[in-house]
């Protein structure tokens, strides 16, 4: 029984301490924990909002990068197409110039061949005329140098 009495006194002495601790808890809860929880909730909401905003910004940035790359790819394709068209034009001009030069060269060769053929024909005609004249002259010269041939002179020789 004595033990119960001591325990009872102990509890009676502890009641003011418990009341003080409870009042201190209520005070801390009202003045510290609630504002702290409110600040932490606001902070968490701001962090989550910033995270969502960051993700949206990142998605927008990725979309802009994709659009930029698409535009760059399209611009490259246009430049390559222009270069290809210019290259084809230069090749066609070069081929036309080669054809024109070849045709002019062929015309010059044809004209030169015709001139040579005419010159050859003229030279042959000239040679034929001169050869007849020259042959007659050679024959005359040979005949003039020959001593008269008599039958007696032929036998002695």
Percent of the chain residues past pLDDT 90, beyond the cut: 69
What is the total residue count of the chain?
A: 157
Q: Tens of pLDDT along 5-25?
A: 888 888 888 899 999 999 999
Q: Tens of pLDDT along 92-136?
A: 999 999 999 999 999 999 999 999 999 999 999 999 888 888 888
Closest listed residue to residue 137, CA positions, set 149, 125, 148, 129: 129
Residue 48 has pLDDT above 90, yes or no: yes
Q: Which two tokens stand for residue 60?
A: 């927008």
CA–CA dist 117, 124 (Å, integer): 10
CA R_g for the chain: 64
Q: How confident is the model at residue 150 (pLDDT cuts 50, 70, 90)?
A: low
Mean pLDDT of the 68-84 span: 97
């Amino acid at each position: 029984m004595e033990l119960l009495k001591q325990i009872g006194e102990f509890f009676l002495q502890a009641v003011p301490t418990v009341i003080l601790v409870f009042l201190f808890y209520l005070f801390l809860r009202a003045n510290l924990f609630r504002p702290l929880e409110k600040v932490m909730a606001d902070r968490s909401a701001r962090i989550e909002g910033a995270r969502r905003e960051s993700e949206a910004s990142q998605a927008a940035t990725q979309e802009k990068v994709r659009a930029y790359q698409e535009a760059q790819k399209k611009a490259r394709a246009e430049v390559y197409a222009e270069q290809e068209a210019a290259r084809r034009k230069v090749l066609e001009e070069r081929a036309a110039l080669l054809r024109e030069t070849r045709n002019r060269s062929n015309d010059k060769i044809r004209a030169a061949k015709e001139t040579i053929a005419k010159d050859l024909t003229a030279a042959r005609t000239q040679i034929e005329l001169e050869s007849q004249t020259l042959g007659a002259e050679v024959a005359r010269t040979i005949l003039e140098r020959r001593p008269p041939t008599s039958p007696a002179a032929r036998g002695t020789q």
